[in-house]
Amino acid sequence: MNTQFLARSYLAQVSESFITKQWELTGTTLLILEIIALTTLVILLIYLIQKRIRTFKRRHASSPFIKKEPKKILDILNKALIDRSKFEVSFSQKQKFSANCSLEDIQKNSLVLELPLNIFPKSNWKGRKIYVYFSVPGEKFGHRTYYFFESEIISFFSKGDINYIIVKIPDYLELKQKRRHFRIEAHNKDFDKIIVYLIRNQAKITNIYHLPKPIFQYIKEKDKGDGVSLDLSIINISAGGIRIKLSNEFKKAIGFDVQNPPDLIIFLKFYNEDKEKRLFLWCKMRNYNEDYITKDLEIGLQFIKQGIIDPRNKTSILWKDINPEDGQDDIGRWVFLKNLYLIRKGIT
């Protein structure tokens, strides 16, 4: 009996000890887990605070691409005034059509912009936000620096046949080009051959014999001058489009009307790394500027389609749509190589 009692007593003690130690172990584990969780929470909180501080500093830090100093802004605008730089104005950054204005005057708190002919301000323009792109001559010959700013139309007025808008002086100028693609100044002589067709019928032309009579032709090997035409001259080009100038006499002769502009097909022959390229480029007018004195017309054209001669049928033109985001690959490559050449020569 005593032996059985002692055995039971011993087993009871062992059982009680095991339960007590199990409770102590569980309690210690929970405490450790709570410490780990609290530490993780503190680390996460510190990380979020530091991230917020970095974001705040980044937003409020001065950027080399943004000019905010009033004197610097005024200096750049004065340079544009002296240069008679064109100010490309639109009511939306997504708007394809824009008006090429001239900076007429800089007042204490506003700018006076001259509108192109045939553009008349409306009463609902007052208070509207505008998006403006312009450029000024750079420090090196042939180089231009491009800027962007947002502003608001304060009022407008007319003087004779010319209309003007008064806009607020911007709070900042941002180094930025409007175009999706890098553009470069170009001239007729940069291409071996240029042929321009005026297209009043929007139907796709799939045969070279269906092309209308050209309104302009330039062949480099026959040019004995500097490649500058009095009728039609290339001003600049990018993968997305081209800007050309039409003389007043030529504009009248071909009947070009900016209010109802026809499309253009421009044929270009040029070389990319010694590889000959022949392209038909279907173009639509996106903006224009008419010189008040000479009446010469500058038109900005967007490349809509690209065409090549069908290698299986030499009279057929194979057309392909041009994605505005990508532009025309061969022209983009040509612009890149041309710019690289100018950089190496120290011209730009």
- 289-312 b/e with 16+ CB inside 10 Å = b? bbeeeeebbbbbbbbebbbeeeee
What are the start-end ranges of the H helices in 135-195? Answer: none
Q: Quick one: tokens of 140?
A: 């090196």
Asked if the model's pLDDT at residue 22 lies above 90, the reply is no
Q: How far is CA 34 from CA 25, 43, 51, 190, 214, in A?
A: 14, 14, 26, 74, 84
- Averaged pLDDT of the chain: 82
Number of CB atoms found within 10 A of residue 59's CB: 7
| Cα separation, 297 vs 258, whole angstroms | 9
Which residues of the chain are in CATH 2.30.110.10 domains? 66-175
What topology is assigned to 66-175 in CATH? Pnp Oxidase; Chain A (2.30.110)
pTM as predicted: 0.55
Q: How many residues does the chain have?
A: 348
| Cα separation, 236 vs 217, whole angstroms | 18
Q: What is the pLDDT of residues 180-229, one digit of tens each?
A: 567 788 889 999 999 999 998 777 899 999 999 999 999 988 877 665 66
What is the 8-class DSSP label of residue 179?
Answer: S
Q: What is the pLDDT of residues 70-90, one digit of tens each?
A: 999 999 999 999 988 889 898
* C-beta of residue 101 within 8 angstroms of C-beta of residue 121: no
